[in-house]
Structure 1
Amino acid sequence: MRGEDGRIDATHALLAAAALHAGFQAVVTAVVYPALVATPARDWAAVHAAHSRRITRVVAVVYGSVVAAWGWALATLPLSPWLGVALAGSVLTGAATAFSAAPTHARLGRLGPRPELLARLVRADAVRLAGAALTLGGAAGALG
């Protein structure tokens, strides 16, 4: 993860952050949300509240690393086509989180496990996984 001068560079930092995010998102998609969706209605409030408390810390670290890496990359790198692909993936993931997943979690916390809300959450999560994969692919491509 070092440039030609031996120092870590922004492209490698972005790749590391994208890999962390893609791995996190894959675990959420394959493990966390299926378990949440399978939660019996009688246990929903406690399970969802615990999920929200626990995942918030992890999301802060993962998304924080992506934002920091993008700050460094955008400040120091020319926007190549591969970085454009990676940026599109990050924008897609951020938008799906801000405009769908987060508000849906809030509604699930207030209203309980409504099937239409759970379906919306799973759809938003699929978009986030695609965006994270796109970001990872673009960041890998940017290394040339």
Structure 2
Amino acid sequence: MTASGTALLAATAVHLGFQATVTVLVYPALARAGADRWPEAHRAHTRAITPLVALIYGGLVAAGCWALLTGPGPWTWVALAATAAAALVTAFAAAPAHQRLGAGHDPRRIAGLLRADRARLAAALVAASAAVIATA
């Protein structure tokens, strides 16, 4: 097992744990906030989660770049592609949904955010699984 492979495995495992927590606990709790509590709940969520997202995605970028520099094998490529998919869903679906939801409670947008979040969880699961296989 290479050091870069270990770093990628650690980063994808942390991401999977974070993403599973968000999908199973955090977003369902946020979605239950009614329209009367929505502005405060959404602002509190955003303030709390943004630094953690930056840290986790920063770790994924660093580990991914290191893996690329050390000559990735096929399963490392799968892990990197799945990680990129999660990042793209974040950039093009989840982040814009949060921005729109900052303006107010909208059940359809909340449902869309939950769907995007499940896609991120699936991508994180594929990434971590591929990283396990790549380091075996």
TM-score if structure 1 supplies the norm length? 0.91
After the TM superposition, which segments of 4 or more aligned residues of structure 1 sit over 4 Å from their partners? none
Q: Could you tell me how far 1:79 is from its partner in structure 2?
A: 2.8
* Equivalent in the alignment of 1:26: 20
* C-alpha distance in 2 between matches for 1:80 and 1:71: 14
> Greater relative contact order (Cα 8 A, min sep 6): structure 1 or 2?
2
Aligned partner (choices 99, 119, 131) of residue 139 of structure 1: 131
Alignment of 1:1-144 (within 5 A): 3=2, 9-76=3-70, 78-110=71-103, 112-144=104-136
With normalisation by structure 2, the TM-score equals 0.96
Let me know the Cα RMSD of the aligned residues. 1.0
Distance in 2 (alpha carbons) for counterparts of 1:12 and 1:103 = 33
Unmatched tracts of structure 1, length 5 or more: 4-8
- In structure 2, distance between residues paired with 1:88 and 1:71: 12
Percent identity of paired positions between Structure 1 and Structure 2: 49
| Structure 2 alignment gaps of length 5 or more | none
Higher Rg of the two aligned structures: 1
Offset, 1:88: 1.7
